[in-house]
Structure 1
């Protein structure tokens, strides 16, 4: 396997925190990342990597899957990747796409393993999750804890409910700052996500996520007041009529104590009171 420090040297680049660039350089963690797919998918097939950087993880993914699609927005790094992995590209085992992962058209893939930029982790994650594919992502530890948080805990919120709708999420490994170059100011963690979409599918996923977002803007209010106060976000046209359909026990709860399953049921009721 390619040495991550040598890749950095050959690329002639240094991570730039201002650009959210922190290159994962710990060999042991890099070696383990592809293995976290093993328990949640029968075949890795085509693996998508967001933010390939200098290719340290890419190199490991090439050994794990049939084909790797690497998305990288930095032109200098794209040119390096195409030169460094020219053989794999020529053999048809690797594709490099230059572009911003927030806006490029995502290709078809069977699984994804990525070291996500902290600043846009949620936006990228919610482009990946609806694809219903196994994911392994390295993210900020605090973000990871919110992804897997249970109802009634301080970390539980919109991210927890939204993640739960698409997948079973599990923190599988902490990642210290010194595993990166340059080291970030925060701890990180690896999260494995096994898709579950279809198990508790709602009829309108877009509304479901909008409804959850709306209610959590009023997380200190009861559900009754949260629904009434956020119609400009949710698009609900008759909040009072909706409230009359919901049990008093649930209406007294605050959003942080409502389970993902209860949110799904609520969204199914609420969508009937929109113009969608």
Structure 2
């Protein structure tokens, strides 16, 4: 169904799935199961226009979303770290597994080997949303993810706003991100203490070309000192950025740029700073 339009499904009842699984969500384990049928039915439609031939789902839980993904995808790989739930998924979806349309991977999504998926649609575990997205975004595949609303707002934040940070720059480096829906706590069992939101990330190449690892390291470094000017942040974070000659980078940078703070820089300005760090920041570049 590459690039196809996703149809609404008459999916398994999420409350019935919870009952058959014999589990209750545990907030201490970051378990909040999405039980709103309308939201579950809409989630696959957020992937309209994406290649859904092989969908990756992280945090499959009792399979309410997995069931609906099987209606729109040729193949689904579902990752679940809770062994009880992984066993339940294998039993509940035995036919789909036997036909080769579903693969259940038991393990931590931050460490298991990921397949070559074409899109990811997930209700992400909120406690590790950022780590998961930092792992998924570099794959440059479309994403639809349910996350905390505050987290979603940080993903789409503009430079200079209170929400703008490392996540905003990283997400904006890899994709165009938009909030497509908000979900009240009552849509989950048990209800979380916060509102949630669905984010759609459409990958695209940035307007600049930089060494990616160096760019991301610099962004990560200067945001650890977001209250300081770039001049001081560059000097103080060499253990993160890998810049060996920070004074040379400071001397080469524009004074107006150095007076800004990390939260005021657009991704393209971080790219320009990365170019300076590449040209002036390495000992290997020093002329003998």
* Fold match by TM threshold 0.5: yes
Q: How far did 1:232 drift?
A: 2.1
Deviation at 1:210, TM superposition (A): 1.2
The alpha-carbon deviation at position 275 of structure 1 amounts to 6.3
Deviation for aligned residue 1:274: 3.6
Q: TM-score, normalised by structure 1?
A: 0.96
Aligned-CA RMSD value:
1.3
Q: Which residue of 1 aligns with 2:73?
A: 65
Contact 2:147 2:198 in 1 (8 A): yes
Is the 1:156–1:256 contact (alpha carbons within 8 Å) kept by the matching residues of 2?
yes
Q: Which residue of 2 aligns with 1:80?
A: 88
Q: How far did residue 197 of structure 1 move? A: 3.5
Query: Which ranges in structure 1 are unaligned for 5 or more consecutive residues?
Result: none
- What is residue 170 of structure 1 aligned with on the other side? 178
Give 1:15 deviation, angstroms.
0.5
Range 177-186 or range 190-199, more displaced: 190-199
Which residue pairs with 1:255 in the alignment?
262
Shift of 1:198: 5.6
Q: What's the CA shift for 1:22?
A: 0.5
Give the aligned partner of residue 241 of structure 2: 234
- SS of the aligned residue for 1:215 comes to helix
Q: Distance in 2 between matches of 1:232 and 1:109?
A: 34
User: Which consecutive segments of 4 or more residues in structure 1 shift more than 3 A?
Assistant: 197-201
TM-score, normalised via structure 2 length: 0.92
Matches of 2:259 and 2:276, distance apart in 1: 17
Aligned-pair CA distance for 1:113: 0.3
Is 2:16 aligned against 1:9?
A: no
Q: Distance in 1 between the 2:228 and 2:74 partners?
A: 50
Q: What is the distance in 1 between the residues matched to 2:43 and 2:17?
A: 18
User: How far does residue 209 in structure 1 lie from its aligned partner after superposition?
Assistant: 1.1
Q: Deviations over 1:10-46 (max 9, x none)?
A: 111110111000000000000111111114x2x2110
Contact in 1 for aligned 2:207/2:268 (Cα 8 Å): no
Residue 21 of structure 1 corresponds to 31
Which of 64, 72, 84 lines up with 1:56 in the alignment? 64
> Paired residue for 1:121?
129
- Tell me the distance in 1 between the aligned counterparts of 2:158 and 2:105: 37
In structure 2, stretches of 5+ residues that fail to align are: 1-10
Q: CA deviation at 1:213?
A: 1.2
**Displacement of 1:271:** 2.8
Report whether the alignment pairs 1:243 with 2:253.
no
The Cα shift of 1:159 comes to 0.9
Give the SS at the match of 1:163.
helix
Contact 1:176–1:187 under 8 Å retained in 2: yes
Question: Structure 1: how far apart are the matches of 2:23 and 2:226?
Answer: 44
Aligned counterpart, 2:8 = none
C-alpha displacement of 1:218: 1.7
SS of 2:160 mapped into structure 1: coil
